[in-house]
Structure formats: structure tokens, C-alpha cells
Amino acid sequence: IEQHMIVTGFLEGEGMGLKSDPQAAVVNLDGARGKSCPSCGQFDMRMIEGCMTCASCGHSKCG
């Protein structure tokens, strides 16, 4: 698809537009992720109705 888009002039040239640098660092990969769920270990805890609830497994300390 990308080659067709280059040939038709939609993209200026190879490496522009759809491709990304495979050596580029991922942003915030090593940053703080917040608290993990004590039940499943996922970093998906959210404040729902005043109580921290895991969006992955539904674990909640409130009940």
C-alpha cells in the first residue's frame, strides 16, 4: 500500500508518512505507572465512584 501511495504521489518518498524509526525510544516506557492491582497485577487502577477499582479485573477495596 505504501509503495502504491509513493508511486501515485500521495506520499513524497520512502520513509515518509507511514514508516517509523525502529531505533526510536518509546516515550514514558520506564516512567512511573501508578499502583498495580493487588488481585491481577495490572496497572489499570482507576477512581470510580470514590473507590480505586481495577478496570481489568474489577477488583475494588470498597466491595
Distance CA 49, CA 44 (A): 16
Distance CA 59, CA 39 (A): 7
Burial 23-51, CB ≥16 within 10 A → b, else e: eeeeeeeeeeeeeebeeeeeebbeeeeee
Domain ranges within the chain, ordered by starting residue: 33-63
Give the model confidence (pLDDT) of 1-60 as tens digits.
777 877 787 766 655 555 565 566 666 566 667 788 999 999 889 998 999 999 999 999
Phi, psi at residue 4, to the nearest 5°? Answer: -60, -40
Rounded to two decimals, what is the model's pTM?
A: 0.48
User: Cell numbers at residue 55, please?
Assistant: 478496570
